[in-house]
Amino acid sequence: MKQLCIVKLAITLAIVLLATQSALAQTTQRALLGSASFAALAFSTDRTSIKSLDQLRAKTSTGVPLRIIIGLRVPFAPEGQLSATNSTRQRAEIISARANLLSKVPTVRRKVDKIKNFDHIPFIAMEVDAVELEQLANLAEVTSIQEDRLMSTNLAQSVPMVGGTSAWASGYTGAGRTVAVLDTGVDKTHPFLTGKVVSEACYSTTNSSYASTSICPGAFLRLQQPAQPCPMHQAFVQPGNVTTALTWQALWRATMAACTEWPKARI
């Protein structure tokens, strides 16, 4: 009987240990994006952070509102690496951190039409003046501040950068896959895409400070299916040969400042 109790105890301890290790594994997958220091960016000793903040201060000193992207102090991991439960928990933490941040800068919170929320990544975009920038820089809840700038793209550089040419040369076809394309616009009537686009959306910003006007059909800021090709670039993707990837930073900029059509092409 005593030996049986010892075996049961050992099994119980093993189960607890495995559960603990699993929970820790989920936790260690998440990391802060931006400064890991608990000090506010205004007190950072990192030269790059100091230089970046000084440049933003110089721009707001002119009196012209500045669009910025704020990093929230929420440990993050792509949802594909998390369980459904932990994904839901991470989203809740992002929403809570965002609400907490806005509560500390009331003047920003009141500019509802100048705020862009992201539910799946720990960032928030907004428009600020010099005083508001300084308030944000003095909050420990902020891990990064960067300007939300208009960017241009160059397909000749981006395709090799994401390994497209290497994939083609290696004979990869992507048969049976669904590909999400984040781009400045595709021609869904192109022979390579005809009948294969299953969903699409267009994102574009109207902002007088940047002389930016939405170029989505109907001048909407966000337009989902059905959407028409953006009039910027008629870039095309050949199904079966390429999968286009975009960095988070490029995605924020594309979402906030450029016209992006997001088709899902079934190969």
Is 65 in the same domain as 118? yes
Largest CA distance in the chain: 82
Query: Is 137 within a domain?
Result: yes
Q: CA angle 62-249-113, nearest 5°?
A: 55
Q: What is the pLDDT of residues 104-125, one digit of tens each?
A: 999 999 999 899 999 899 999 9
Per-residue pLDDT reduced to its tens digit, 182-241: 776 677 788 877 777 777 777 777 777 777 777 777 766 555 554 344 433 333 333 333
Categorize the per-residue pLDDT at 8 as very low, low, confident or very high, splitting at 50, 70 and 90: low
Q: How far apart are CA 124 and CA 49, in angstroms?
A: 18
Mean pLDDT, the chain, whole residue set: 75
Residue 90, in any domain of the structure = yes
Residue 25 included in any domain:
no
Question: What are the φ and ψ backbone dihedral angles of 81, each rounded to 5 degrees?
Answer: -95, 0
Q: Are residues 171 and 204 in the same domain?
A: yes
DSSP string, 127-171: EE-HHHHHHHHT-TTEEEEEE-------HHHHHHHTTHHHHHHTT
Q: Report pLDDT for 237.
A: 36
6 assigned to some structural domain: no
Which pLDDT score is estimated for 217?
72
Q: Is residue 14 part of a domain?
A: no
Site of tokens 């993050």: 76
Could you report the per-residue pLDDT of 71-117, keeping only the tens digit for each? 999 999 988 889 999 999 999 999 999 999 999 999 999 999 899 99
Work out the burial of residue 72: count CB atoms within 10 Å of its CB; fewer than 13 is exposed, 13-18 middle, 19 or more buried. buried
Last residue of a domain, one of 114, 147, 180: 147
Distance CA(151)–CA(147), nearest Å, equals: 11
Q: 10 Å Cβ neighbour count for 45?
A: 8
Work out the angle at residue 247's Cα, subtended by the Cα atoms of residues 80 and 60, and round it to the nearest 5 degrees: 120
- Is 11 contained in some domain? no
> Which residues constitute the domain of residue 255?
155-266
Kindly compute the dihedral angle of the four CA atoms of residues 251, 252, 254, 255, in this order, to the nearest 10 degrees.
110
Q: Is residue 260 one of the residues assigned to a domain?
A: yes
pLDDT above 80 (res 245)? no
240 residue type, one letter: G
Residue 182: predicted pLDDT: 73
The number of domains in the chain is 2
Residue 13: per-residue pLDDT: 54
Spatial distance between the Cα atoms of 263 and 261, rounded to a whole number of angstroms:
6
Q: Are 178 and 239 in contact (CB under 8 A)?
A: no
Residue 3 confidence (pLDDT) above 70? no
